[in-house]
């Protein structure tokens, strides 16, 4: 299963055109709810950081991708790979670091580069 967190309708539509089977969510609460489903095994989870139409938000907020990272680290759901696709470079780097420390396989691929690489990633 593939999970995609992003608040942009345009990015979500573009992503779904490449990976129609993906579950898409646009809030941290919806993402955490999907991740917390019992017996859920996620092949790839795509995380954006800045949500709600905002840019370069504080990583301590509860309405950003870092909140999902904190939940993942605390609850250890099964996820084969995580791709952080935020354009907020410092936040993406921090998300990646925390997930690496928790032994998750994670890479940062900004959304602008993601679509051209998605077919190979999502079909591996």
Residue 118 lies in a domain: no
Residue 109 lies in a domain: yes
Residue 68 lies in a domain: yes
Whichever domain contains 36, its CATH number is 3.40.50.2300
From residue 61, alpha-carbon distances to 38, 43, 58, 66, 72 in Å are 26, 27, 6, 8, 16
Residue 106 lies in a domain: yes
pLDDT for 123: 56
Evaluate whether 86 touches 48 at the Cβ level (below 8 Å).
yes
**What's the total number of domains in the chain?**
1
pLDDT tens string 84-106: 999 899 999 999 999 999 999 99
pLDDT for 40: 84
Indicate the SS3 state at residue 22: coil
Range(s) of the domain holding residue 74:
2-113
What is the chain's Cα-based Rg? 13
Chunked into runs of 10 residues, the chain (124 residues) has average pLDDT values of 96 94 96 91 95 84 94 96 95 97 96 80 56
Residue 20, judged by CB atoms within 10 A of its CB (0-12, 13-18, 19+), counts as exposed
pLDDT for 65: 94
pLDDT for 57: 84
Residue 123 lies in a domain: no
């Amino acid at each position: 299963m593939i999970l995609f967190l992003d608040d942009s309708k345009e990015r979500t539509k573009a992503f779904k055109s490449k990976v129609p089977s993906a579950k898409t969510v646009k809030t941290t609460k919806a993402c955490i709810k999907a991740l917390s489903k019992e017996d859920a095994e996620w092949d790839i989870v795509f995380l954006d950081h800045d949500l709600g139409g905002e840019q370069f938000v504080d990583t301590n907020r509860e309405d950003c991708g870092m909140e999902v990272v904190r939940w993942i680290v605390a609850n250890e759901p099964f996820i084969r790979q995580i791709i952080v696709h935020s354009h907020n470079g410092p936040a993406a780097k921090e998300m990646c670091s925390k997930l690496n420390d928790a032994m998750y396989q994670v890479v940062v691929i900004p959304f602008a580069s993601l679509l051209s690489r998605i077919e190979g990633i999502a079909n591996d």
